[in-house]
Structure 1
Amino acid sequence: MMTRTGSQVEVEQLLDVFKALANPVRLQVLRWLRDPERHFPVDRAIADPVEVGVCVSHIQEKLGLAQSTVSAYMALLQRAGLVRATRVGKWTHYKRDEARIAELVATLGRSL
């Protein structure tokens, strides 16, 4: 049985991130989430967009895409470690995982 080295795991994680960001819509959402109060309707938020995140319905509304598509996009960003999901009642809110993004940038710097 072959074991994976730490560097192989890092490369696989980076590939997941690159795949997630290869879609221009997902990349745009990640950019919007960097400054949620500027890009999403704070007056209609049921939770603090900076602390908790942006409701998936607001992301869907801004994109004009089907809810299922937006949910799939956000799940992919979450699996790549770029966003965190928090449930507030029946709604899922998404927020950038800044610590993980910084870690991925550092990994990229070591890997290339």
Structure 2
Amino acid sequence: MDELVEQTKALASDVRLSILGWLKEPGRHFPDQLSGDPEEVGVCVSLIAKKLGVSQPTTSRHLELLRRAGFVKVRRIAGWAFYARDEAELKAYQRRLHDTV
């Protein structure tokens, strides 16, 4: 139950919900990523920060909460962090929430 509560808290932010929404279709929302196909490698934190209109450290804090909740995975390439949704964990969360509520 504690995990479900912590995951739900991670979703209690319009910013984090926006990030998850964008990462659902990264090619549509981040077509200008030069360092690789966002569908394959994830999206660079700097592009997410730019789309949010906030600093990179602020964006990183939001992404870290989503990562700790299990909703996103991070991939590091040449010193850059790329984020993608963890679809399996998102589906598991939905099942746990449905079974509980």
TM-score (norm 1): 0.85
The match for 1:93 among 75, 82, 90 is: 82
The alignment of Structure 1 onto Structure 2 pairs a total of residues equal to: 101
TM-score (norm 2): 0.94
Report percent identity of matched pairs. 46
Is there any run of 5+ residues in structure 2 with no aligned partner, and where? none
CA contact (8 A) 2:33 2:43 kept: no
Over 3 Å off, 4+ runs: none
CA contact (8 A) 1:45 1:55 kept: no
Match of 1:59 in 2: 48
Match of 1:4 in 2: none
The alpha carbon displacement at 1:24 in A equals 0.6
Is there any run of 5+ residues in structure 1 with no aligned partner, and where? 1-10
Match of 2:27 in 1: 37
Greater C-alpha Rg: 1
Residue aligned with 2:81, SS: strand
Provide the rounded CA distance (Å) in 2 between the counterparts of 1:106 and 1:99: 11
The alpha carbon displacement at 1:43 in A equals 3.6
The match for 1:24 among 6, 14, 26 is: 14
The alpha carbon displacement at 1:50 in A equals 1.0
The alpha carbon displacement at 1:47 in A equals 2.1
RMSD across aligned C-alpha pairs, in angstroms? 1.0
